[in-house]
């Protein structure tokens, strides 16, 4: 495994926005200034408050996509109040942020890796692909499966192709790549290869995480998923972001996704039928 000891989180009361632009219909990319020594591990996130006002009140969790030379990037989909206000922010406005937070993906130094992203689950896996590529100095064995409902949900494929041996693209409406769910090319991929050493990581909607966990458990492939829950503090104190999990002894317990997640071994998740 690549041992990336997650760095200590820090608070940035006013991180200056360097760029905030739409990158695909309904999706934007935010670039903010952070100190040059800021580092993170793929899968970690930030809590972002869009301004110092009382509304929107709570921070929003956002996965870190990349950090280079004091420029931090995250991508977001506009789904509600918080992300709506975020989309209206301009260059030189400031963000209140704290992070990096949470447990990152464990990335193997060698051997094939399959990264499965659904829609706005792409950014943390983008950073996983980029990190793997930089450490291994090769794209060989890095496979990216990237699905959305339509072509608008799938972007930065050209960038990803620099880090990956192959990027498999799917859209439910067939407007780009293969028509269907991302599990389709993934299942095909699993068929014609020896999978002893394959390592799988996923981030996307709950039903997608559940189905890749099922596929991997049937085939005995280790799989990590990044899960979502509403968050308030991001540091483990409010107990808002819990998910039901099993310990290695099979005992059920709630874990806090902001500190014991968001990335978790998929075999530990007790999947909720109603979601």
Ligand X SMILES: Cc1cc2nc3c(=O)[nH]c(=O)nc-3n(C[C@H](O)[C@H](O)[C@H](O)COP(=O)(O)OP(=O)(O)OC[C@H]3O[C@@H](n4cnc5c(N)ncnc54)[C@H](O)[C@@H]3O)c2cc1C
> Which parts of this chain interact with another protein (CB under 8 A)?
8-11, 13, 49, 54-59, 96, 98, 229-243, 253-254
The listed partner (ligand X, ligand FES, another protein, none) that binds 254, CB under 5 to 8 Å by sort, is another protein
Q: What is the smallest separation between the CB atom of 97 and another protein, expressed in angstroms?
A: 10
Which of residues 114 and 258 has its CB atom nearest to ligand FES in the complex? Answer: 258
Which residue do the tokens 């799938």 mark? 154
Q: Shortest Cβ distance from residue 132 to another protein (Å)?
A: 27
> Distance between CA atoms of 272 and 262, rounded to whole angstroms?
16
In the list ligand X, another protein, ligand FES, none, the entry touching 17 (Cβ below 5 to 8 angstroms by class) is none
Distance of CA 20 to the CA centre of its chain: 19
Rounded distance, CA 154 to CA 180, Å?
A: 13
Identify which range of 72-80, 90-98, 132-140, 212-220 contacts ligand X by CB under 6 A. Answer: 72-80
Which of helix, strand or coil describes residue 81?
Answer: helix
Nearer to another protein, 194 or 274 (CB): 274
The one of another protein, ligand X, ligand FES, none whose footprint includes residue 51, by CB under 5 to 8 A per kind, is none
Partner whose binding site includes residue 213, from another protein, ligand FES, ligand X, none (CB under 5 to 8 Å by kind): none
Spell out the residues 6+ positions from residue 164 whose beta carbon is closer than 8 angstroms to its own: 115, 129, 133, 139, 142, 143, 144
Q: State in angstroms the smallest separation of the CB of 252 from ligand X.
A: 21
DSSP string, 164-224: -SEEEEEETTSSSSEES-THHHHHHHHHTS--TT-EEEEES-HHHHHHHHHHHHHHT--EE
Binding mask 232-251 for ligand FES (x = CB under 6 A): xxx-xxxxxx----------
Residue 24, token pair as written in the block: 């695909």
């Amino acid at each position: 495994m690549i041992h990336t000891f997650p760095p200590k989180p820090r608070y940035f009361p006013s991180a200056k926005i360097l760029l905030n632009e739409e990158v695909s219909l309904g999706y934007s990319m935010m670039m903010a200034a952070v100190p040059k020594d800021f580092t993170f591990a793929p899968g970690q996130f930030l809590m972002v408050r869009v301004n110092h006002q009382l509304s929107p009140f709570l921070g929003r969790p956002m996965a870190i996509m990349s950090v280079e030379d004091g420029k931090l990037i995250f991508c977001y989909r506009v789904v509600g109040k918080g992300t709506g206000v975020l989309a209206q922010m301009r260059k030189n406005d400031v963000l209140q942020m704290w992070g990096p937070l949470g447990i990152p993906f464990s990335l193997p130094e060698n051997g094939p890796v399959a990264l499965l992203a659904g829609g706005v689950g792409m950014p943390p896996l983008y950073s996983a692909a980029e990190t793997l590529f930089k450490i291994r100095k090769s794209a060989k064995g890095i496979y990216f499966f990237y699905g959305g409902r339509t072509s608008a949900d799938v972007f930065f494929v050209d960038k990803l192709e620099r880090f990956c041996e192959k990027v498999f693209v799917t859209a439910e409406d067939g407007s780009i790549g293969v028509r269907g769910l991302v599990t389709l090319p993934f299942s095909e991929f699993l068929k014609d290869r020896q999978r002893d050493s394959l390592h799988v990581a996923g981030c996307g909607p709950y039903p997608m995480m559940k189905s890749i966990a099922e596929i991997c458990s049937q085939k005995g492939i280790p799989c990590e998923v990044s899960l979502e829950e509403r968050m308030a503090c991001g540091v483990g104190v409010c107990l808002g972001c819990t998910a039901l999990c099993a310990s290695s002894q099979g005992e059920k317990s709630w874990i806090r996704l902001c500190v014991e997640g968001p990335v978790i071994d998929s075999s530990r998740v007790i999947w909720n039928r109603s979601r």
